[in-house]
Chain A
Amino acid sequence: MFAYLIRKLGVIAPTFFGVTLVAFVFIRLLPGDPVLLMAGERGMTEERHAKLMAEFGFDKPILVQYGVYIQDLFSGDFGTSIITKQPVFKEFFTLFPATMELSFVAICIAVFVGLPAGMIAATKRRSVFDHVVMTGALTGYSMPIFWWGLLLIIFFSGILGWTPVSGRISLLYYFEPVTGFMLIDSLLSGQSGAFKSALSHLILPSIVLATIPLAVIARQTRSAMLEVLSEDYVRTAKAKGLGRGRVIGMHALRNAMIPVITVIGLQVGVLFAGAILTETIFSWPGIGKWMVDSIFRRDYPSVQGGLLLIAAMVMIVNLVVDLLYGLINPQIRHRD
């Protein structure tokens, strides 16, 4: 297992450096520069532009800038935002718990609804349930997040008044963040009703964010199950007289889980992408909105640092997924 982990980490290290290069180069390929955007219609003289570019170190050759960036990374410095003047690492981890909390709830919804829905659809192939699940999954997958979010807000918050419109907690509650996870902090605050408020604020954004992963997981589970259910060993298990639950739960589902877990792992990247829109609609103070703002302002250090940290998160999740393969099917780690 240890050797397997080392091999996986050996792949992650070069990927990480690949990401630093991509993040560094791509943001600079975008036309315009942060100093020009800072000045806006008011503009500035060529001299002042050059002076500010030099102050930020953007006047040096790109390879030199990259070298300085990598050197700083090795000393744990992710840079300082040229807009807010705050360390990128600090800004990221101030906002990251909000995205993490939302993504975690969303992936839980997606897994706990998508997995059984896909399983049942597979075992009841061509039934009404199967058609409903598959049509629902297709609709969910195709729905623009922005439109879907607004629709839910107008209906559940505007018309029915069941859920709050946006934010993480009611403005009635005020406490200093301890963990950054609102559900935990609201409990720690000891303020009556705070946890309920935080939970109610999570409902709509997590449903919206869960929609696409849920659709993908349901479809993937269904097709993986269908494939496994037609395998000889399943037929043999049935022929041996094993109960339906045991055949599906023990023999079929466990083997169908490999591709499903891969898809769940990949959905983490999708969640971060979806968070950009979901966070904007629901005024959710996470890293999605922060990244978009940083890109629009050409805040190079924030974009570089943010992309790197997000990539690191996605890589960690995928490493965990790889390790899970080994647990589900020990043959994988031996073969690898």
Chain B
Amino acid sequence: MRKSKKLLAALCGASLLAFGAVGAQAKTLVFCSEGSPEGFNPAFYTAGTTFDASSRQIFNRLVEFKRGTTEIQPALAESWDITDGGMKYTFNLRKGVKFQTTKEFTPTRDFNADDVVFSFMRQLDPEHPYHKVSGASYEYFNGMSMPDLLKEVKKVDDYTVEFILNRPEAPMIANLGMDFASIHSAEYADKMMAAGTAEVVDLKPVGTGPFQLVAYQKDAVIRFKAHPEYWDGKAPIDDLVFAITPDASVRYQKLKAGECHVMPYPNPADIAAMQKDSDINVLEQEGLNVGYLAYNTKVAPFDNAKVRKALNMAINKQAIIDAVFQGAGKIAKNPIPPTIWSYNEATTDDAYDPDAAKKMLAAEGVTNLSLKIWAMPVQRPYNPNARRMAELIQADMDKIGVKAEVVSYEWGEYLKRSKDVDRDGAVLLGWTGDNGDPDNFLAVLLGCDGVGGSNRAQWCYQPFEDLIQKAKVVADKEERVKLYEQAQLVFKEQAPWATIAHSVVFKPVRKEVVDFRIDPFGGHVFYGVDLK
């Protein structure tokens, strides 16, 4: 044990040799990551594991989320103006930003508007020479409806870029902080295209971010070093190593043995022991997610809000938090998590009261009700054990005389069938926020456009729809807050879902780690983190 604990200290010294650092002893932070990235171009993928290894270390975006918050701050764009009724966004770009120098590429110029145009037009324009390179498909870009939203991205001058929209969209700025909006070097792309090796830009990434890729061995290790000319100042650590460790129990053993400094996704059962360990700090924060049970509001008697409310009152959420989340969750009352702005504290959750629920059902003339409860076959932060959750709800329903049956399908099938407007039963599902904007939950999951798609409750309620549509086009944040708060009140009154839980994210880090902050988006950002 003692021998292993010396590893991290030794790493600092050894990294001098390994990375060719000079001067004072290099600081190396080791992160026991949970898996291999799918690749290094964040525009191609949707997984957090991939973003951790690419966009969050190697790249920057025009705007970024302030570390540990969902608040937007300037990054490669120093400022911006929104004109033409929210249809034109003009970004003033930061000067003197250097791209990383790698074995494949030595930049001859600083970051400028060409890089922004390249990064977006590659995804937007099917005729762009890079659109099909590496067999790319731009799932996040498409998933956020950017092709419908963006009309054009054009260079005004070297340090000014305009985004022309097809319609006003208030969450646009938040969208530009997302991983798919990372800025790539157009100069690098041009060079590789001219050399006939265009796909190299996706394999050997070059960005303006705080760390640059040194080496990657699939399923083993990813090595980064601090970008020496990073525009916001060099990172406090010199080297960053991802030791890929898929098993959570093994990650914990490595953290204990001093083989890594930070680990993601601990086993809930290990949290108590970690909290007692004097070498480990367990950071904790509510996740940017919500787990819910969506009724099919198009099918009787679930088209009746009072019936839905009665069923909500039958569910013992605290028992679910204890049994399914093992304490690592909080009861959800709203369809957005408390970490998102405009979360309405004033709403009241449906109280757990089986007797009252029974009476409400009787008052609505509902007898001999049966209900299918769909249990997801996969584990998600917002629902670590859907089968168990479904069984608990089944038992709760039984107490009010509702016969519930638990059903499940393979994940792809589950996602497909649960979209069906005529679906039989209530679906357990959830959502993790993309950009910290309430629209990303309320419009995507409960808007009329989502019926037959991401709106699993098949709920299209005009008063709610009017509020969220208005909030989409209003630029003033205060006004948007009011609209979303009101929308949450309407949601509670209509109860298209039983809101179940928001997960609590635990992040064990070793005591010598300074200023690591939990990312509400579930990512791992190491710029700004130091070692004692």
Contact = CB atoms under 8 A, between A and B. Distances in A.
A285 B220 contact: yes
B453 A83 contact: no
Secondary structure of the B contact surface, majority rule? mixed
Interface string A250-289: 0000000000000000000000000000011111111001
A112 B87 CA distance: 74
Contacts of B454: 41-43
Contacts of A280: 246-247
Contact of B39 (A84, A154, A167, A173): A84
A172 B257 contact: no
Interface in A177-234: 177
Interface stretch (B160-168, B188-196, B412-420, B502-510): B412-420
Interface residues of B, number: 61
Nearest to A172: B14
Interface string A148-171: 001001100111110011111011
B462 interface: no
Given A37-B412, A41-B415, A283-B220, A165 B135 contact: no
Nearest to A33: B412
Interface string B1-25: 1111001001100100011000000
B143 A160 contact: no
A42 B218 contact: no
Contact of A95 (B19, B134, B219, B413): B219
A150 B247 CA distance: 10
A129 to B, nearest CB: 35
Nearest to A174: B18
A48 to B, nearest CB: 6
A283 B136 contact: no
A38 B136 CA distance: 13
Contact of B419 (A43, A164, A289): A43
B253 interface: yes
B223 interface: yes
18 contacts: A30-B410, A32-B413, A33-B412, A36-B415, A41-B415, A41-B430, A43-B419, A84-B39, A161-B3, A165-B4, A171-B241, A174-B215, A280-B247, A282-B250, A283-B219, A286-B219, A290-B219, A293-B36
Interface of B: 1-4, 7, 10-11, 14, 18-19, 30, 35-36, 38-39, 44, 46, 134-137, 139-140, 142-143, 199, 202, 215, 217-221, 223, 241, 243-247, 249-250, 253-254, 256-257, 259, 409-413, 415-416, 419, 429-432, 453-454
Given A42-B454, A43-B415, A171-B11, 19 more contacts: A30-B410, A36-B415, A39-B143, A39-B415, A44-B139, A55-B137, A82-B135, A95-B218, A153-B253, A157-B4, A161-B1, A165-B257, A165-B259, A168-B220, A171-B259, A173-B18, A283-B243, A283-B250, A285-B217
